[in-house]
Every structure is written in structure tokens, then in C-alpha cells.
Amino acid sequence: MWAYESVFYQIYPLGFCGAPFENPGAPITAEDRNSGKKPEHSGENHSILKVIDWIDHLKSMNIGAVYFSPLFESDTHGYNTRDYTLIDSRIGTNEDFAKVSKALHDAGIKVVLDGVFNHVGRGFWAFEDVRRYRWDSIYKDWFHINFDGNSNYNDGLWYEGWEGNYDLVKLNLYNDNVVNHIFGCIKGWVDEFDIDGIRLDVAYCLPPEFLARLRSYTNGLKDDFFLVGECLHGDYNRWMGDDKCHSVTNYECYKGLYSSFNSMNLFEICHSLQRQFGSENWCLYRGRHLLSFVDNHDVTRVASILSNENHLPLIYSLAFGMPGIPCVYYGSEWGERADKSMGDPALRPCFDAPQENALTEHIAKLAEAKKSSRALCYGDFRNVVLTNRQCIIERKADGERVLVCINADENEYVAHFDAGCGTADDLISGAKIDFGGGLRMPGYSSMFLKMER
């Protein structure tokens, strides 16, 4: 599977393009949509084409796939969809995104879109039809409706909103017409944009039956079509498996990564990794490939959450060296700051152009090491050396061994252990490392040591 050997890069398109928060156009009606009419305001902006200008930056960072947060016509932030078939008119047209997708593919970069299938916006064409025609709407069973109640918006009917958010209208995914509509839209994304996978928003809310049908359907659309689900807590095997998502977001280790550095207690993250990926039969996700990240569009930027800026390169080294699929959030590769308390728009800014600095170069080297090493992509996990401020973990696959070495302390640390060989090559720096007298780890350093056979 290509995704297991890739480094992902996340773009939040509405922020990336500097789009206004509110969609200025009126939602389209079901009659107009079914007749082929598009919103009158569509196509006024073509800012999504800016992604093409970033491709050289993505290639220099050895990015293998771009995951786009919501792209389709919505009421405001993208997760309240109006139409799954139209690129949001605040950032461009379908033709624009087709050009973006082709340019990425021509550069050898895969394309993954956000699939927001648990809920839609109040401006979704079928929900507009229900509000207009009520009992007479042929779409009334697409949602969880009670015509004897009322909504927070005084619609004269009650409907289920996602986790009490009534701008997000929950879809009835047990209705075949809804499922068939979603599947038809996905096929359209493949036909029109040649996408390679979908990130499933709030996958933990999706019925298992829907996930199974989705996996079966997308398996037939395109070879190695990839599904990654957004999951927060609990046993990820509920949503990940051979008949469900290929991967899920590793929120457990997201917290463990920054917390371990801030508390100077690397036992926390390494124990989580052992629990998830260790060799014992009770380990939860051995052989699976979860999506690893240090930040994203929903959380404080990692540069703002770490208490010691010297740990910034190191947290990326650990995120790339641990089992999983690393994902970099746009702007964080050069150390952009933003706190969740400042509001979501602060986390999702517009940049005129990408920046490159020492951190960017470091991440590029990590990505190059990741994609060139079978052990880093598929290897087993084992703790070799572990202290509060240092860790050495082993990744091993098909005869290849890589030691991921982290020293979070400002002082040099000498690790004494049986390396099983005399020298190794550091995949990050290219240096030859000699284990004579122990492994010398400079302060605030990381190494990916490919061991002699």
C-alpha cells in the first residue's frame, strides 16, 4: 500500500486560500441541482490553483501525499457541506481542482480528500428541500427528522445535529439512497480528480455497516484506494481493519508526543508505543499503520505547545521514527505558531508562499529517510534504551534494522547497550557512527541509525 510508505501533508483549503468564513451565495435548491444548474456565484475565485505554486516545496520535503481538508461547497468552515459534487466557490471550480490534482500527480504526489459523510450543513440541497416541503419532501428520510418538534433555528421541525451542533445536520447512513448518493459522489471524485484516498471525518461516529460498505465499494474503484478515519479515543480496531479503514488518526500518541517532551518523561510515549505496536500478543495495533501527527487544523500548533523550542526538531524525529504514517500540517514545517484559544481561524491561516528554514530541512531529511527505509515503514517496534530524557527504539523489517535515537536533554548522553554491530549510518545526517565506547548522543539530538547487517 502506497500510503504506508508515504509522508502526508495536510492543507486546510479555505484557510490556505484566504477564503471568507461565510459563503456569500445562497444554497441551491434540489430542483436546480437536479436540473444541472450551479450556484450563480460559483467560479468567482480560483485561489485553489495556488497549491500548484507549492509543489516544488512539497517535492523538496519529500512529501508523498497531500490530504486536503474539506474542499466542497459549504455554509462556512467546510464541514457543513452544501454539495459534495462542487468545489467550494470561495476557492475555485471543479476545473481548477482538476488542474491541481493533475499537477500533484505529475509530481508523483497522491491526493486524499476529506469525506464529511456523518453530517451536512443546513444549506445542503436535500435538507433545504425538507425544510421547504416537509412531509412531502422525498428526502425527508435522508435525515433524523421529527415533524412534531422544533429546532434551535425555529424550522418547525426537529432534526438530529452532530453532537448537539445544529449547523451540522446528521445524515441517515442506514438509508440506501443516502449511501448511494455518497458513493456516486466518491466515484465522481475519482473520475474527475483521480483521487487516491479519503480521510473520513469523525469516523468514530460512522456506523460499522457503512464503513464496511464503503471499504468494499472503494476497493473496486481504484487499486490501493486508501481510507483513513478520524478517531480520538477507545480501541481503534473498532474502525480499522481489513473490512473497515486502512488507518486511523493516532490521537493517543499525539498527546503522548508533546506531553513526553514537556514533562521530560519519554516513558509516556514509549509505553504508549509499546502498548500499540510491541511484539507481545496483547499489543493492540501490531502490523497496522496509524496516521501520526504533532498538530493539525483542530489543535494548537506544536511550536506553541512545546515548552522548549529545542525539542521541535526532536518531536518530528520521533513522529517519523515511530510506527505509522507521518503527516505534516501546512506551515508547521517552518515552526508557525498558533494557539487553539485564539480560535480556529488562527490555526488555519493563509500564507503567501511557503517558507524554508532549518526545521524544514530537518523534516525533509526525515521524510527522505522514511521513504527509503523498509524498517521505518513496516518495521516491528522495540524499546532498546529508555530514560526520562533519552530513548532508543528499534524498527526492524526484512533484515533491516534502524535505531531511532532521541536525546531531549541539553547535555550529551552516552548510551551503553548491545548494538549487535560496530557501526551504523545515520539516515538523517549521512554520518558514519561508531559504537565503540557507547553511542554518543549530543544534546538535543536525534539520529536514525541504519545498522550494519
- Same domain as 421, residue 340: no
Same domain, 314 and 402: no
Question: Count of domains in the chain?
Answer: 2
Domain that holds residue 23: 2-377
Domain boundary among 326, 355, 377: 377
Provide the 8-state DSSP code for 306.
-
pLDDT exceeds 70 at position 334: yes
| CATH number, domain containing residue 406 | 2.60.40.1180
Residues 330 and 386 in one domain: no
Measure the CA–CA gap between 8 and 31, rounded to whole angstroms.
39
Instruction: Say if residue 303 is in the same domain as residue 411.
Output: no
Q: How many CB atoms lie within 10 A of CB 286?
A: 15
316 and 384 assigned to the same domain: no
Please indicate, yes or no, whether residues 139 and 281 belong to a single structural domain of this protein. yes
Instruction: Give strand pairing partners of 170.
Output: 119
75-101, pLDDT tens digit by residue?
A: 999 999 999 999 999 999 999 999 999
Report the mean per-residue pLDDT for the chain.
96
**Residue 295 maps to which CATH number?**
3.20.20.80
C-alpha cell at 94: 471543479
- Give the separation between CA 90 and CA 96, rounded to whole angstroms: 12
pLDDT tens digits, 229-286? 999 999 999 999 999 999 999 999 999 999 999 999 999 999 999 999 998 888 999 9
432 phi and psi angles, rounded to 5 deg: -90, 130
Q: Do 266 and 406 have their domain in common? A: no
Please check whether residues 127 and 224 belong to one and the same domain: yes
Tell me, yes or no, if the pTM score tops 0.95. Answer: yes
Residues 392 and 364 in one domain: no
Same domain, 299 and 397: no
Q: How much is the pLDDT for 200?
A: 98
Report the side by side order of strands in the sheet with 165-170: 119-121, 165-170, 161-162
